[in-house]
Amino acid sequence: MRRADGGPRPASEGWDVEEGWGGPAAPRRPQRGDRGSGTDARRGASDRNGRPDPGERRERGGRGPDRAVRASLPFWDRMLRGLAGVLAGGLVVLSLGLFGVWLFSDDWGVPGPGGFTVFWHLVGAVVAVGGQRLADRRPDRTGSLAAAVVVGTAALVLGLAWFL
């Protein structure tokens, strides 16, 4: 493919061959045995003393030490945290649905949930999401306790508002 003026597209525009699509070649990744210019394949740029370059921006991925910690949790703890996440999400959806029905029930002229019920569903959803955030970020007993609080909050809201 050629530019509008008839010349070939430069490689900086993503064209590395005259006919076809492809990005410029990626820079070579440092290998384990590489030496030189103060870089380490695992740490990124560093000075002569091995300290990271302050100008370098390091990105955190989702797969690192946290993933290894989560995998080392006992089975019951992972199941509790998973159940807490599902219940927190369900409580948010339920409370937002109730809030919508509460808003439109007067306009439609039909009985709807009371403001008291909607308020406590919203409070329960906020507590559940806060507890789930804590449970996701703490791999210790505090995270397990937060997950148990989420399950208890969901049971309390559902039990008092829907079944009693």
Task: Give the pLDDT confidence of 12-68 residue by residue, as tens digits.
Answer: 555 444 555 555 666 666 666 666 555 444 545 555 666 665 555 555 555 555 555
Q: What percent of the chain has pLDDT over 70?
A: 57
The lowest-confidence range among 39-53, 104-118, 140-154 is: 39-53
Report d(CA 144, CA 139) in Å as an integer.
8
The tokens for 28 are 């070579």
Q: How far is CA 101 from CA 36, 44, 96, 97, 127, in A?
A: 66, 54, 9, 6, 22
What pLDDT is stored for residue 164 in this prediction?
A: 83
Report d(CA 124, CA 161) in Å as an integer.
11
Reported confidence tier of residue 143, pLDDT bands at 50, 70, 90: very high
What pLDDT is stored for residue 41 in this prediction?
A: 47
More confident residue, 39 or 80: 80
What pLDDT is stored for residue 154 in this prediction?
A: 97
What pLDDT is stored for residue 84 in this prediction?
A: 97
Contact 52, 43 (CB under 8 A): yes
What pLDDT is stored for residue 81 in this prediction?
A: 95
Decide if pLDDT at 7 tops 80. Answer: no
Q: In terms of pTM, does the model score above 0.85? A: no
What pLDDT is stored for residue 107 in this prediction?
A: 85
- Residue extents of the structural domains in the chain: 22-56, 73-163
Return the closest-CA partner of residue 21 out of 11, 29, 30, 36.
11
More confident residue, 72 or 93: 93
What pLDDT is stored for residue 109 in this prediction?
A: 87
